[in-house]
Structure 1
Amino acid sequence: MRMKLSVNRTVDQWFNKIGKNPALGLTVSILWLMVVGWIAFGWNLGNIGLIDETEPLFAEASRQMFVTGDWITPFFNGDTRFDKPALIYWCQAIAYYIIGVNEWAVRLPSAIAAFGLVCLAFYTVHWYLGKQDELEQVSRPTRRYSTSFMAAALMALNGETIIWARIGVSDMLLTGCMASALLCFFLGYAGKGGSREQGAGGAGGREQGEREKSFPLFPPHPAPLPLFNAQSPMPHALFPNKWYLAFYVLIAGAILTKGPVGIVLPGLIIVAFLLYVGKFLEVLREMRVLVGILIILGLSVPWYALVIWRNGWNFINAFFGYHNLERFTEVVNGHSAPWYFYFLVVLLGFAPYSVYLPASIVRLKFWQRSHWSSQERFQQFGLFAWFWFAGIFGFFSIAVTKLPSYVLPLMPAAAILVALLWSDLFQDKDTRQTISVSSSPTPPISLSFLRVSGWVNVIFLSVLSTALFNITQILGSDPAITNFHELIKQSGLPVIAGVIWLVCAVVVAGLLLSRRWNYIIGINLLGFVAFLIFVLTPASFFIDRERQLPLRELSAVILEAKQPNEELIMLGFKKPSVVFYSNIHINYLRFPQEATEHIQNQAAKGLQPPSLLLLAEQKKFLQMDLQPDDYKSLSTKGAYNLVRIPFKKKKNEKIDIS
Structure 2
Amino acid sequence: MTRLSSDTSAWRRTGLVVAGMFLWLAATAWIRPLTAPDEGRYVGVAFEMLRSGDWLVPRLDGLPFFHKPPLFYWIGAAAMSVLGPTEWAGRLPSLLGATIAAAGLWLFLRRWADEACARLSAVVLLSMPFFYVGAQFANLDMLVAGCISATVLLAADATLSKERGAGWRRALAGAFLFAALGVLAKGLIGFVLPGLVFVVWCVATGRPRALRLMAWPPGWALFVLLAGPWFVAMQMRYPAFFDYFVVTQHFRRFAASGFNNEHPFWFYLPVIAVLTLPWFGWLAIAHWKARKAPPPWSDVDWLMGLWCLCIVAFFSLPRSKLIGYVLPALPPLACLVARSALAAVRGAARGTIGLRWTIGLAALACGASIALIAAYGTPPDARLSLPAGQTVGPHDEVLMLDTYAYDIPFYWRLQRPVTVWGDWSPALLDSRDDWRKELHDAGRFEPVLGARLLTGRGAAQTSLCLSAPTWVVGASNSQRAHPWLAKLQLAAYNPWLAVWRFAGTADGSAQCFETASDGAMPAPATP
- Alpha-carbon contact 2:71-2:185 (below 8 Å) kept: yes
Deviation at 1:408, TM superposition (A): 0.7
2:400 aligns with 569
Say how many residue pairs are matched: 475
Which residue of 184, 189, 194 corresponds with 1:261?
A: 189
Deviation at 1:169, TM superposition (A): 1.7
What is the CA–CA distance in structure 2 between the aligned matches of 1:605 and 1:242, rounded to whole Å?
Answer: 59
What is the CA–CA distance in structure 1 between the aligned matches of 2:28 and 2:521, rounded to whole Å?
Answer: 49
Which residue of 347, 351, 361 corresponds with 1:527?
A: 361
1:128 aligns with 112
Question: After superposition, what is the alpha-carbon deviation per residue over 1:197-223, rounded to whole angstroms, capped at 9, x for unaligned?
Answer: xxxxxxxxxxxxxxxxxxxxxxxxxxx
What is the CA–CA distance in structure 1 between the aligned matches of 2:238 and 2:387, rounded to whole Å?
Answer: 32
- Answer with 393-402 or 68-77: which moved more: 68-77
Letter aligned with residue 522 of structure 1: R
What is the CA–CA distance in structure 2 between the aligned matches of 1:323 and 1:286, rounded to whole Å?
Answer: 29
What is the CA–CA distance in structure 2 between the aligned matches of 1:337 and 1:656, rounded to whole Å?
Answer: 40
Structure 1 position 602 matched with structure 2 position 432? no
2:436 aligns with none
Inter-CA distance 271–129: structure 2 relative to 1 (3 Å threshold): closer
Structure 1 position 113 matched with structure 2 position 97? yes
Letter aligned with residue 159 of structure 1: P
Letter aligned with residue 155 of structure 2: F
Higher relative contact order (CA 8 A, sep 6+): 2
Which residue of 306, 311, 320 corresponds with 1:387?
A: 306
1:331 aligns with 257
SS at 2:385's partner residue?
helix
SS at 1:559's partner residue?
coil
Letter aligned with residue 273 of structure 2: L
What is the CA–CA distance in structure 2 between the aligned matches of 1:354 and 1:245, rounded to whole Å?
Answer: 34
SS at 1:191's partner residue?
helix
Greater radius of gyration (CA): 1
- Alpha-carbon contact 2:61-2:417 (below 8 Å) kept: yes
2:218 aligns with 291
Inter-CA distance 563–87: structure 2 relative to 1 (3 Å threshold): closer
| Pairing 1:550-629 to 2, within 5 Å after superposition | 551-554=383-386, 559-560=391-392, 564-571=395-402, 573-582=403-412, 583=414, 584-589=416-421, 601-603=459-461, 607-609=465-467, 612-626=470-484, 628=486
Question: After superposition, what is the alpha-carbon deviation per residue over 1:43-78, rounded to whole angstroms, capped at 9, x for unaligned?
Answer: 132233222112222222222322333222111102
Inter-CA distance 62–423: structure 2 relative to 1 (3 Å threshold): same
What is the CA–CA distance in structure 2 between the aligned matches of 1:634 and 1:329, rounded to whole Å?
Answer: 46
Which residue of 375, 385, 388 corresponds with 1:542?
A: 375
Inter-CA distance 388–598: structure 2 relative to 1 (3 Å threshold): closer
- Alpha-carbon contact 1:51-1:548 (below 8 Å) kept: no
Deviation at 1:183, TM superposition (A): 1.0
What is the CA–CA distance in structure 1 between the aligned matches of 2:160 and 2:290, rounded to whole Å?
Answer: 18
Letter aligned with residue 580 of structure 1: F
- Alpha-carbon contact 1:61-1:74 (below 8 Å) kept: yes
| TM-score (structure 1 length as normaliser) | 0.65
| Pairing 1:274-353 to 2, within 5 Å after superposition | 274-280=202-208, 282-285=209-212, 289-313=216-240, 315-353=241-279
What is the CA–CA distance in structure 1 between the aligned matches of 2:485 and 2:213, rounded to whole Å?
Answer: 76
Deviation at 1:609, TM superposition (A): 3.6
2:144 aligns with 174
Deviation at 1:261, TM superposition (A): 1.0
Letter aligned with residue 531 of structure 1: A
Letter aligned with residue 340 of structure 1: W
Letter aligned with residue 331 of structure 1: S
SS at 1:528's partner residue?
helix
2:84 aligns with 100
In terms of fraction of residues, the more helix-rich structure is: 1
Unpaired runs of 5+ in structure 2? 1-5, 429-454, 505-511
Letter aligned with residue 246 of structure 1: G
| Pairing 1:235-254 to 2, within 5 Å after superposition | 241-254=169-182
Deviation at 1:160, TM superposition (A): 1.9
Deviation at 1:320, TM superposition (A): 1.1
| Pairing 1:149-228 to 2, within 5 Å after superposition | 149-194=119-164, 196=166
SS at 1:192's partner residue?
helix
Inter-CA distance 605–86: structure 2 relative to 1 (3 Å threshold): closer
Question: After superposition, what is the alpha-carbon deviation per residue over 1:262-299, rounded to whole angstroms, capped at 9, x for unaligned?
Answer: 1111111111111122211x213356533322221222
Deviation at 1:556, TM superposition (A): 7.5
What is the CA–CA distance in structure 2 between the aligned matches of 1:155 and 1:310, rounded to whole Å?
Answer: 42
SS at 1:633's partner residue?
strand
SS at 2:113's partner residue?
helix
- Alpha-carbon contact 2:202-2:211 (below 8 Å) kept: no
- Alpha-carbon contact 2:385-2:492 (below 8 Å) kept: no
Letter aligned with residue 98 of structure 1: V
| TM-score (structure 2 length as normaliser) | 0.80
Deviation at 1:126, TM superposition (A): 1.9
- Alpha-carbon contact 2:464-2:470 (below 8 Å) kept: no
Question: After superposition, what is the alpha-carbon deviation per residue over 1:362-383, rounded to whole angstroms, capped at 9, x for unaligned?
Answer: 9999xx9xx87xxxxxx30001
Inter-CA distance 598–37: structure 2 relative to 1 (3 Å threshold): closer
Please give the root-mean-square deviation of Cα atoms over the aligned residues, in Å.
3.5
- Alpha-carbon contact 1:55-1:168 (below 8 Å) kept: yes
SS at 1:424's partner residue?
helix
Structure 1 position 355 matched with structure 2 position 281? yes
| Pairing 1:418-567 to 2, within 5 Å after superposition | 418-424=337-343, 516-533=350-367, 535-543=368-376, 547-549=379-381, 551-554=383-386, 559-560=391-392, 564-567=395-398
2:432 aligns with none
What is the CA–CA distance in structure 1 between the aligned matches of 2:249 and 2:287, rounded to whole Å?
Answer: 33
Deviation at 1:352, TM superposition (A): 1.9
Structure 1 position 643 matched with structure 2 position 500? yes
